[in-house]
Amino acid sequence: MNETASLIVHLPKEDLGRLESLAESTKQSISALAAAVLAEYLAVHQQQIAAVQEGLAAAERGDVIPHGEVAAWLESWGTEHELPRPRAKQHR
């Protein structure tokens, strides 16, 4: 089993009531439910931060798609002359 630690969290009474209700309806403890919610939140935000950092690194390398090309591609959607998806230009 994973090692655990305690955390005190101050939250609005309304949120505590919602947490208690959800814990009861899912037959989980409040602690287990809160830990699961926090773990999911951390995973989602870590992925978002990694994606932003990856995008910034690509931009710094010059691996970008010029705005005009993206705009032209979007404007072509649904027309008889739809353009292919533009690709990043790699300027090294």
Give 24-55 pLDDT, tens digit per residue. Answer: 999 999 999 999 999 999 999 999 999 999 99
Average pLDDT, the chain: 93
**Residue 33 included in any domain:** yes
Domain range for residue 48? 13-61
**Residue 23 included in any domain:** yes
Segment 3-13 shows an average pLDDT of 95
What does the pLDDT read at residue 9?
Answer: 94
**Residue 21 included in any domain:** yes
Total domain count for the chain?
1
**Residue 27 included in any domain:** yes
Segment 2-13 shows an average pLDDT of 94
Name, in order, each residue with C-beta under 8 angstroms of 76's C-beta and a sequence gap of 6 or more: 82, 83
Distance, CA of 35 to CA of 40 (rounded, Å)? 9
Q: What pTM value is reported for the model?
A: 0.67
